[in-house]
Amino acid sequence: MPKRERSPEERSSDPAAQQMLIWADELGLGTAFHRADNMVPCNLGAAGMCCKLCGMGPCRLTKEGQTGVCGATIDTIQARNLIRAIAAGSAAHSDHGRDMAFTLKAVANGEAEGYMIRDVAKLRTVAAKYDIPIEERAPEEIANDLADLYIAQFGQQRGEVAPLRRAPDKRQQLWAEHGVVPRGIDREVVEALHRTHIGDDQDPEHILQHAIRTALADGWGGSLIATDVSDILFGTPAPVLGQANLGVLKEDMVNVIVHGHEPTLSEMIVAASQDPEIIEYAQAAGAKGVNLAGICCTANEILMRQGIPAAGNFLQQELSILTGAVEAMVVDVQCIMQALVGLAQNFHTEIITTSPKVKIKEATHIEFNEHRALTIAKEILRHAIDNYKNRGDTHIPDVREDLVPGFSHEYINYMLGGTYRASFRPLNDAIMAGRIRGVAAIVGCNNPRSRHDYLHTYVTQELLKQDVLVVETGCGAIASAKLGLLLGEAGLDNVGPGLREVCETIGIPPVLHMGSCVDNTRILTVLTQMVEEGGLGDDIDQIPAVGLAPEWMSEKALSIGAYCVASGAYVIFGGSSPISGMPNRVSDSDIVLGYISQGWEKLYGGKLEFIDDPDEMIRKTLEHIDKKRAALKLPAYDPTRFGFSGDTRMLELEALPLAERQMALYGAPVPEEV
């Protein structure tokens, strides 16, 4: 029986997306939303009950006690499937980190056209962490040494991945005790594939221990390298005004969307788009200029550094093409739907692939190379401009929202303590006092199987009411941006009283946008500094904090979840569980589900759970935060104690007649000066 197709409102909670879905229906064109409705997920694969790792299968385990042809149990099969997904996610993030490290090397040696070292302070700070000499050395010399060190982490065979030393001491000891310290990034990914070949590791818990090691190679390895180098080359983010949603596309300009993940390309396209020669070329084609916008994590990279607008998140890549206003969509790696090319053929949009790792049949391929970066970026923009004359009717939804992204770890440090006393003390104090109940990191993808953006924004808003400070990255951050939650004043009326006071005092939004998915490492760095600041325990697992990926879909998300667990976090994934197994499975047959939750919690203090009900996600988040508060002997959360200071209170006071205001402020009328 065909599945019922959902209405646009059921498919997305974003009004711009809804408009484009109605338009798609009028045009008779399909999108991921339509395909999800018409493609019932394979129930065996979705639950991790299918093994296709050798030619004796695929083995479909449908009955309790059944095994694969080789004798593999369902638990072994689920553990193998999960670690393979985590290895792929770790590989994707880390390969991005590797490319960044090679770009740093090329810049240090003057071989990368158009790039420069923008954040020398960060370069020196990072290099000093690895005992690279920094005094009386040129930035290029330091960068060359740091690039060599970072490049070596990928192929290293023994020892420990260097950035691991940036974790809290106690956590490093714990990893050493449990034998999960990653030796080299590539080595752990390769070993994950080896262990899951037919006839290798067959103990599910043993397999999943290596999943932790593989994920740590991502979070405290490849991803951290990617973030460090991006900041060094393109600048460490600081708050900047931006905009988000499809309404950032412009009728009178050549619209170019950059989509994917690596900032090496997108940053150079930003630079090229501001080149007078390119602007003149666009004007000669009849446009006012070139309007750049991002999709997915590329959007986050250029939004938080340059204020370049975000056209949307993962599920808006096709919707942007449906506007008919996009001259070129320039893609690099990850989260790029193959369907883009077929859809674009109904319009004038040119899909341009640029990575030597990613080609799509019938797309234009202009290969990017950091040695000729600016020249190639201009060539790509000329293609887009040449295509402007082919534009037909446009349907750009008039929906966009302002936002302030750019809350890097470094900026939060500065924001809380100033230039000379950069510190996390005020944040720790606010948590200890109970003004801030705890912290939630809400990250990850969109998934067309759930209502686009709804889980992200519902969970975010409900936690804000409960005085939980929210930090966000990836497509989740763009979802909140589109709803106006990333603005200083907007939405503070719906934020709990203690959190509101903190936001008003410091002048921050209640939701802090910390970057792209590789930038989840910024959250690890923040948590580490909160530990080092004191008052919230001596390791990350003691902090009242939870990580959530309400609309996850990618293997990268699973890797992030696993390294956050290994770092001590309680992590909740929404939507479906890839290891749910047979319906109504009981106790001893739920080895994998139990192990990643209670098993990992015993070892690392963090756990991974899949919960599809958003209210249950919120309940469990608050329960965990309160449990951690109690363990630290902090006062129990009590919202009635706060909310009597800050801008909101001052506005209330200002509205009062003078005498009443003076009574409220000073307890007596103030005599007039004579």
Contact residues: ligand BF8, CB under 6 A? 261, 296-297, 314, 335, 444-445, 474-475, 516-517, 554, 556-557
Structure tokens belonging to residue 502: 């903190």
- CA 152 – CA 267 distance, rounded (Å): 25
- CA 308 – CA 300 distance, rounded (Å): 9
Of 34 and 456, nearer to ligand BF8 (C-beta) is: 456
Long-range contacts of 622-625 (CB under 8 A, 24+ apart): 622/437, 622/438, 622/463, 622/466, 622/468, 624/544, 624/546, 624/570, 625/437, 625/438, 625/468, 625/544, 625/545, 625/546
Q: To the nearest whole angstrom, how small is the minimum distance from the Cβ of residue 94 to ligand BF8?
A: 13
Q: How far is CA 191 from the centre of its chain?
A: 26
Q: Which 8-state DSSP code applies to residue 435?
A: S
| Cβ atoms 77, 48 nearer than 8 A | yes
H or E, element range at 244? strand 242-244
* Alpha-helical regions (H) of 447-566: 454-465, 474-482, 497-506, 520-533, 555-566
Of 261 and 348, nearer to ligand BF8 (C-beta) is: 261
659 by Cβ neighbours in 10 Å (0-12 / 13-18 / 19+) ranks as: exposed
Of 8 and 474, nearer to ligand BF8 (C-beta) is: 474
Of 235 and 474, nearer to ligand BF8 (C-beta) is: 474
Of 261 and 628, nearer to ligand BF8 (C-beta) is: 261
Q: How far is CA 92 from the centre of its chain?
A: 14
Residues 6+ apart with CB under 8 A from 200: 194
| Cβ atoms 548, 471 nearer than 8 A | no
Of 143 and 517, nearer to ligand BF8 (C-beta) is: 517
Q: To the nearest whole angstrom, how small is the minimum distance from the Cβ of residue 396 to ligand BF8?
A: 22
Of 297 and 403, nearer to ligand BF8 (C-beta) is: 297
Q: To the nearest whole angstrom, how small is the minimum distance from the Cβ of residue 363 to ligand BF8?
A: 19
146 by Cβ neighbours in 10 Å (0-12 / 13-18 / 19+) ranks as: buried
- Residue 308, amino acid: I
Of 242 and 444, nearer to ligand BF8 (C-beta) is: 444
Q: To the nearest whole angstrom, how small is the minimum distance from the Cβ of residue 632 to ligand BF8?
A: 31
- Tokens 């290099």 locate to 127
Q: To the nearest whole angstrom, how small is the minimum distance from the Cβ of residue 43 to ligand BF8?
A: 23
3-state class (DSSP) for residue 365: strand
Q: To the nearest whole angstrom, how small is the minimum distance from the Cβ of residue 335 to ligand BF8?
A: 3
Q: To the nearest whole angstrom, how small is the minimum distance from the Cβ of residue 519 to ligand BF8?
A: 10
Q: Which 8-state DSSP code applies to residue 565?
A: H
Q: To the nearest whole angstrom, how small is the minimum distance from the Cβ of residue 93 to ligand BF8?
A: 8
| Cβ atoms 16, 24 nearer than 8 A | no
Of 333 and 566, nearer to ligand BF8 (C-beta) is: 333
Q: To the nearest whole angstrom, how small is the minimum distance from the Cβ of residue 629 to ligand BF8?
A: 30
Q: To the nearest whole angstrom, how small is the minimum distance from the Cβ of residue 27 to ligand BF8?
A: 25
Q: To the nearest whole angstrom, how small is the minimum distance from the Cβ of residue 209 to ligand BF8?
A: 25
Q: Kind of pairing, strands 242-244 and 401-403?
A: antiparallel
Of 391 and 556, nearer to ligand BF8 (C-beta) is: 556
Of 542 and 559, nearer to ligand BF8 (C-beta) is: 559
Task: Tally helices (H) and strands (E) across the chain.
Answer: 29, 16
Structure tokens belonging to residue 242: 């931006």
Residues 6+ apart with CB under 8 A from 171: 539, 540, 567, 568
Structure tokens belonging to residue 194: 């080896």
Of 409 and 556, nearer to ligand BF8 (C-beta) is: 556
Of 325 and 336, nearer to ligand BF8 (C-beta) is: 336
Q: How far is CA 437 from the centre of its chain?
A: 23
Q: Phi-psi region for residue 173, left (φ > 0), alpha (ψ -120 to 50) or beta?
A: alpha
Of 76 and 516, nearer to ligand BF8 (C-beta) is: 516
- CA 82 – CA 312 distance, rounded (Å): 29
Of 32 and 117, nearer to ligand BF8 (C-beta) is: 32
Q: To the nearest whole angstrom, how small is the minimum distance from the Cβ of residue 614 to ligand BF8?
A: 18
3-state class (DSSP) for residue 594: helix
Q: To the nearest whole angstrom, how small is the minimum distance from the Cβ of residue 329 to ligand BF8?
A: 14
Q: To the nearest whole angstrom, how small is the minimum distance from the Cβ of residue 218 to ligand BF8?
A: 12
Q: To the nearest whole angstrom, how small is the minimum distance from the Cβ of residue 112 to ligand BF8?
A: 24
**CA distances to 11, 24, 57, 363, 410 from 343, in Å:** 19, 10, 35, 11, 41
- Residue 435, amino acid: R
